[in-house]
């Protein structure tokens, strides 16, 4: 290979593979070698799926040789968050309780990306069972930020975000329950998308909070994110919450005019952000106004209750979902004198501190005598948030806010302060509760030379306008010139 594909966009790689300028096998091997050489410092990956990747790459090359369509993502390397079931490959959720568990099936999103010609490079690190905002809660390794190895990459999809930011892969998949795609995307200076709830099948996603979880893409740019979402979205009979609706071609929205689109800056979410983050959001809004959008401030008062409602609803659902990990059917099993002791020993050893904290909080919220006071009331607040957004969207097509209230913080800075850690998701949680789409777009660097993300939100199935606005922001955003750690 006379040139390197590292750092190329997904669409560029796919184009070169389709035309034969480079083989999918060469692309895969180059990215695998890069990860092997440098990931010991970053810890983005829990497993490198080299054999799978090379088999998939050879298949793409064979299709091209035979004149067959190799797919939209022909030969494009992709990282997979390790809570997505991969047939015959360890899927741990970064938890000891699932150490070495190998699912007998693939998640639906994986079937779709494989069909599109993408090449699965490996399983990325995460906060255990996706519970965290820094990827420090993994039972195995702590992932670091590619722009500063002393800082976190965000979470819970920190491994996926770090992989893309470090140029290990042009694309990655993550899951977003309260901001777990968008927040690490912001902290790592890349694009991250949480689609409308139900747009992407959750079949094969190991559940955290089923009414909130959604799978979505990480990419270097808005166009690649739109391309990956196009591949993974659509109805799936295996997921009872999957939407059966006609979806637009997201890629066609990138670069489309934004004249006349109404953009609202959410007052409540911008007020609590660091000054440099507020400045970036307002600058992005100015770019939109100069491009023909109608920009104004808007109050969405119920979002201030999002954090409180989320940390009752999500743990309650987690308490139920994680009850299946009992040391009996699969996963870690530690024998006790009877079955009750086996349950206790297995779950005590298998779950980390943050997962235990949330299981206990959720179990309490659902317990007899407290259900109405906590879980029931939180669901009413969720309805308030949905209604508050609905009122805002009567006058605006999309909303803007910070993605995270600050840039990336130092590893260990919030590890002993759960409330401070939870506040990292204060801007992202409301859209999960509403089931709406949202995405983070990088917008320059803060005073500490770390990336800042601007969040673009839209009503349910409003991805078309969301991508149009995101692309307009991206086209005028200050370049992130800081080099990643291995360059």
Residues contacting residue 204 through CB under 8 Å, at least 6 positions apart = 84, 85, 103, 105, 106, 107, 108, 109, 110
Instruction: Please name the helix (run of DSSP H) or strand (run of DSSP E) that holds residue 81, with its range, or none.
Output: strand 77-81
* 156 is an active site residue: yes
> In residues, how long is the chain?
487
Q: How far apart are alpha carbons 210 and 17 in whole angstroms?
A: 38
Q: Measured in Å, how far apart are the chain's first and last C-alpha atoms?
A: 20
Among the listed residues 479, 478, 474, 480, the one whose alpha carbon sits nearest the alpha carbon of residue 288: 474
Q: Cis (ω within 30 of 0) for the bond into 156?
A: yes
Neighbouring residues of 447: CB distance < 8 A, sequence distance ≥ 6: 276
Which residue spans within 341-388 are E strands per DSSP?
none
Residues 6 or more apart from 129 whose CB is under 8 A from it?
A: 83, 93, 94, 95, 206, 208, 318, 322, 355
Pairing verdict, β 294-298 and 77-81: unpaired
What gap in Å lies between CA 390 and CA 448, rounded to an integer? 37
Kindly name the residue from 156, 157, 163, 242 that is annotated as catalytic: 156
Catalytic residue among 11, 16, 23, 81: 81
Give one DSSP letter per residue of 304-350, joined into a string. GGHHHHHHHHHHHHHHHHGGG-SSSSSS-----SSHHHHHHHHHHHH
Q: Torsions phi, psi of 262, nearest 5?
A: -100, 125
| 3-class secondary structure, 177 | coil
Do the beta carbons of residue 452 and residue 444 sit within 8 Å?
yes
Residue 275's Cβ-count burial label (10 Å; 0-12, 13-18, 19+) is exposed
Q: How far apart are alpha carbons 285 and 267 in whole angstroms?
A: 13
Catalytic residue among 23, 180, 319, 424: 180
- DSSP type of residue 458: -
Q: Distance between CA 255 and CA 468 in Å, rounded?
A: 6
180 as an active site residue: the answer is: yes
Our measurement of the distance from residue 369's CA atom to the centroid of its chain's CA atoms, rounded to an integer in Å, reads 36
Q: Which are the catalytic amino acids? A: 81, 156, 180
């Amino acid at each position: 290979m006379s040139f390197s594909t590292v750092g190329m966009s997904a669409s560029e790689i796919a184009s070169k593979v389709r035309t034969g300028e480079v083989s999918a096998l060469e692309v895969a091997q180059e990215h695998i070698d890069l990860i092997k050489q440098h990931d010991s410092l970053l810890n983005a990956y829990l497993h490198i799926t080299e054999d799978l990747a090379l088999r998939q790459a050879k298949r793409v090359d064979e299709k091209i040789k035979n004149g067959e369509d190799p797919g939209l993502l022909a030969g494009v390397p992709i990282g997979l968050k390790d809570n997505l079931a991969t047939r015959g490959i360890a899927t741990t959720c970064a938890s000891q309780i699932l150490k070495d568990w190998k699912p007998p099936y693939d998640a639906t999103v994986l079937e779709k990306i494989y069909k599109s010609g993408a090449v699965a490079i490996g399983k990325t690190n995460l906060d255990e069972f996706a519970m965290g905002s820094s990827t420090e809660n993994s039972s195995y390794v702590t992932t670091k930020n590619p722009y500063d190895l002393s800082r976190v990459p965000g979470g819970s999809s920190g491994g996926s975000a770090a992989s893309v930011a470090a140029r290990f892969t042009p694309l990655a998949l993550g899951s977003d329950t309260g901001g777990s795609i968008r927040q690490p995307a912001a902290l790592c200076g890349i694009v991250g998308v949480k689609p409308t709830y139900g747009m992407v099948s959750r079949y094969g996603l190991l559940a955290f909070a089923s009414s909130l979880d959604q799978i979505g893409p990480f990419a270097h740019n808005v166009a690649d994110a739109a391309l990956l979402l196009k591949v993974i979205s659509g109805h799936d009979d295996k997921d009872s919450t999957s939407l059966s609706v006609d979806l637009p071609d997201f890629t066609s929205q990138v670069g489309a005019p934004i004249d006349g689109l109404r953009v609202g800056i959410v007052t409540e979410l911008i007020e609590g952000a660091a000054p440099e983050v507020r400045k970036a959001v307002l600058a992005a809004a100015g770019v939109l106004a100069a491009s023909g959008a109608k920009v104004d401030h808007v109050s969405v008062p119920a979002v201030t209750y999002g954090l409180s409602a989320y940390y009752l609803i999500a743990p309650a659902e987690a308490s139920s979902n994680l009850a299946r990990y009992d040391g009996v059917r699969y996963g870690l099993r530690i024998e006790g004198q009877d079955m009750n002791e086996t349950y206790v020993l297995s779950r005590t050893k298998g779950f980390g501190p943050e997962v235990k904290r949330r299981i206990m909080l959720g179990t309490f919220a659902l317990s007899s005598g407290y259900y109405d006071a906590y879980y029931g009331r939180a669901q009413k607040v969720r309805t308030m948030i949905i209604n508050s957004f609905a009122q805002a969207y009567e006058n605006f097509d999309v909303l803007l806010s910070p993605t995270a209230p600050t840039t990336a913080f130092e590893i260990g800075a919030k590890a002993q302060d759960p409330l401070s850690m939870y506040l990292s998701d204060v801007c992202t949680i409301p859209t999960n509760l509403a089931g709406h789409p949202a995405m983070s777009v990088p917008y320059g660097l803060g005073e500490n030379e770390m990336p800042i993300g601007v969040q673009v939100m839209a009503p349910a199935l409003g991805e078309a306008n969301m991508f149009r606005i995101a692309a307009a922001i991206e086209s005028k955003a200050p370049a992130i010139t800081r080099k990643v750690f291995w360059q």
